[in-house]
A and B are shown apart, each in its own frame.
Chain A
Amino acid sequence: MTRLLEVIDLQTHFFTRDGVVKAVDGVSFTLDKGETLGVVGESGSGKSVTAMSIMRLIPDPPGKVVGGDIIFKGDSVLEMTAQQVRSLRGNRIAMIFQDPMTSLNPVYRVGEQIGESVRLHKNASKQEAFERAVELLDLVGIPHPRERARDYPHQFSGGMRQRAMIAMAIANQPKVLIADEPTTALDVTIQAQILDLMNELQDRTGTAIIMITHDLGVIADMADKVLVMYAGRPVEYGSAADVFYNPKHPYTWGLLDSLPRHDVAMKDTLNPIQGQPPSMIRVPEGCSFHPRCPYARVKCIKEEPVLRHTEAEHGSACHFAGDDGFVRGEATACREVS
């Protein structure tokens, strides 16, 4: 069966003055209709670059997809001509960005901008496009959409701008919607509105969503499948239930253990992941997490682990995943990292 979207061993590197940055180094996942994939990782983990690679938006130079493939409905996105990519972008694959303040052009009315994206891909008159924009603004829950469509972006609040961005993204009923930290710049009560809206739109249209975020709460709310990234590499991949309730990589354990919770009482001190995030110029050898991993053994510096599937659809890039007793909360640390 052809998947909707298949990313196979994607490698996107940036050739900078200071050296080669392997921003994405061997990422693979699949996405089907109606699914939400959550991509989680810290800044510099390569999650945004993965999204930009799928959209073919990597600035070249300095960036370049140097390996792997991206298959959308059986066709390689990487082999498409510029013309084909344009008809893909904003049409069958659309994207929402983090900053709602800068992703709308301040000199055009909101309705015109949304209509523009319709006109680019469908043969619609200016009037038809505007009508469609009003319809879309209504769909994303903007009150008085007809009047608000004539407003300029600065007349919109942050939450409303993000709704307008979503309206623009779904204008052509994309098959895949990539959301890159869509709620990070928003307040929690607005974040709840936006997440709700995205869930609702997905139920209605069956759009597949790639949700990129550093917030495990957002992932828990939205994602069916989860990809955890660290230093450009995938470290764990599986269903949301697998990753949250049966994680198999010490980095995922660390992330889950270090989070304070507002809904349950916690013990006095948190369990942070020790050490600092790696420099992307000099990623540690072997397993890139080894300098911060309390379970690291010599093998971890000598051999680079690959994402192994320990059971159907659940994989961990840890040499010891699946070993007896190597379970979150039970495994014993073999060294102290500070």
Chain B
Amino acid sequence: MTNPTSTPPGSNLDPHDSAGHDVRDMYSPLPVAPLEEHALSGPTRTLWRDAWRRLRKNKLAMAGLAWVVLVIAVTLSADLWVPDAFGDPETINTATAAQNYLLPPSAEHPFGTDKLARDVFSRVVYGARISLSVGVIAVFISITIGLIMGALAGYYGGLADVLVMRLADVFLAFPYVLFAVALIAVLGPGYINVFIAIGVLGWPTIARVFRSSILSVKENEYIDAARAMGASDARIIFRHILPNAIAPIIVYGTMATGGAILTEAALSFLGMGVQPPTPSWGLMLSDAKALMQRAPWMMIYPGAAILTTVLSFVLMGDGLRDALDVKMKD
């Protein structure tokens, strides 16, 4: 039965065991291996580290992450090079406007220029600032409200649950964009109000996701174990429930960032969001729609920016969902 071509598996054994038997003899008792040999080896694996390892293997999610990182890097460094190289995104240079308006893409203006002779690339880059900050800030607002509401409903249940969930139903029953438009009509246009409107409108879904996540985590006996040792509610929520219930929020929050960017674009397109001359992708589309045939670049580039950025967030969310799936037992 021994395979002569490969080294026998036992060949790394010490030739003598503790009792002095020669273990090269096939009939000597086998020394007892330390416990670790067939249970634990290698560095400690945390669930977060495992998730990151899985995420790294997901090519689409990593492409999404790379794109988002690139957009962030370009946006953050924009002040250093974009206006110098391509022109200011907001101010209209009246002196050169007459010959520079509606130029098609060229080396000097890679995305062309708009009807006010501003560089489209520069406006797309600065538009990303608005889009990303809307995404991040609005989702931050949504998550903050959503986590509190979801925790109230999921952990305490009873009347708190009924009230919170019915309120969420009311929010969800309104047509989303219409509600946002109405809210901005009350608050007045401007990007701060866009953050608030999108953020406030986003909480019910987060609350629902978090509530059901809490409910399923609460079923676990380690929660009972914590109660049985006398742990306080706060300790149970923050040490036991939150770390285990947060994964769906991370996934949903990532996807919702894409959604918030899309909503901002829609609101600005309708004229209810960011106001000119501040560049915003939605606003740029709105400007472009009358000139669609004459200057298609005015529409293509901001459109592509929305598409790729939103898609990247969705792909990242998808990848995170697979990577954070903690249901597997091995």
Contact = CB atoms under 8 A, between A and B. Distances in A.
> Do the two chains touch directly in the complex (Cβ atoms below 8 Å apart)?
yes
Contact of B37 (A291, A297, A334): A291
Contacts of A335: 29-32
A286 B23 CA distance: 15
Interface in A307-338: 334-338
A56 interface: no
Contacts of B31: 335
B243 interface: no
A267 interface: no
A110 to B, nearest CB: 29
Contact of A338 (B1, B26, B32): B32
Nearest to A283: B38
B10 A296 contact: no
Nearest to A276: B39
A161 interface: no
Nearest to B25: A298
B29 A302 contact: no
A298 B24 contact: yes
Nearest to A279: B38
Contacts of B20: none
User: Is the interface on chain A under 10, 10 to 19, 20 to 34, or 35 or more residues?
Assistant: 20 to 34
Which one of B9, B30, B35 has the greatest number of beta carbons of chain A within 10 Å?
B30
Contacts of A338: 32
Contacts of B29: 296-298, 334-335
Given A297-B29, A298-B30, A275 B9 contact: no
Contacts of A291: 33, 37-38
B12 to A, nearest CB: 10
Given A285-B9, A302-B9, A304-B1, A278 B30 contact: no
A3 interface: no
Q: Is the interface of A mostly helix, strand, loop or mixed?
A: loop
User: Is the interface on chain B under 10, 10 to 19, 20 to 34, or 35 or more residues?
Assistant: 20 to 34
A301 interface: yes
A172 B77 CA distance: 72
B28 A286 contact: no
Contacts of A17: 57
Contacts of A305: 1
B135 to A, nearest CB: 32
Q: Is the interface of B mostly helix, strand, loop or mixed?
A: loop
B43 interface: no
B1 A297 contact: no
A299 interface: yes
A299 B9 contact: no
Contacts of B35: 275
Interface string B1-30: 110000011100100000000011111111
Nearest to B8: A302
Contacts of B10: 285-286, 298, 301-302
Contacts of B2: 302-303
A306 interface: yes
Given A298-B25, A301-B9, A303-B2, A275 B38 contact: yes
A79 B114 CA distance: 67
A306 B38 contact: no
A202 to B, nearest CB: 35
A145 interface: no
Interface of A: 17-18, 275-276, 278-279, 282, 284-286, 290-291, 296-306, 334-338
14 contacts: A18-B330, A275-B35, A279-B38, A284-B38, A286-B10, A291-B33, A291-B38, A296-B29, A298-B13, A298-B25, A298-B26, A301-B9, A335-B29, A335-B31
Given A296-B30, A335-B30, 18 more contacts: A275-B35, A275-B38, A276-B38, A278-B38, A279-B38, A279-B39, A284-B38, A285-B9, A286-B9, A291-B38, A297-B30, A298-B23, A298-B27, A298-B30, A301-B10, A305-B1, A336-B32, A338-B32
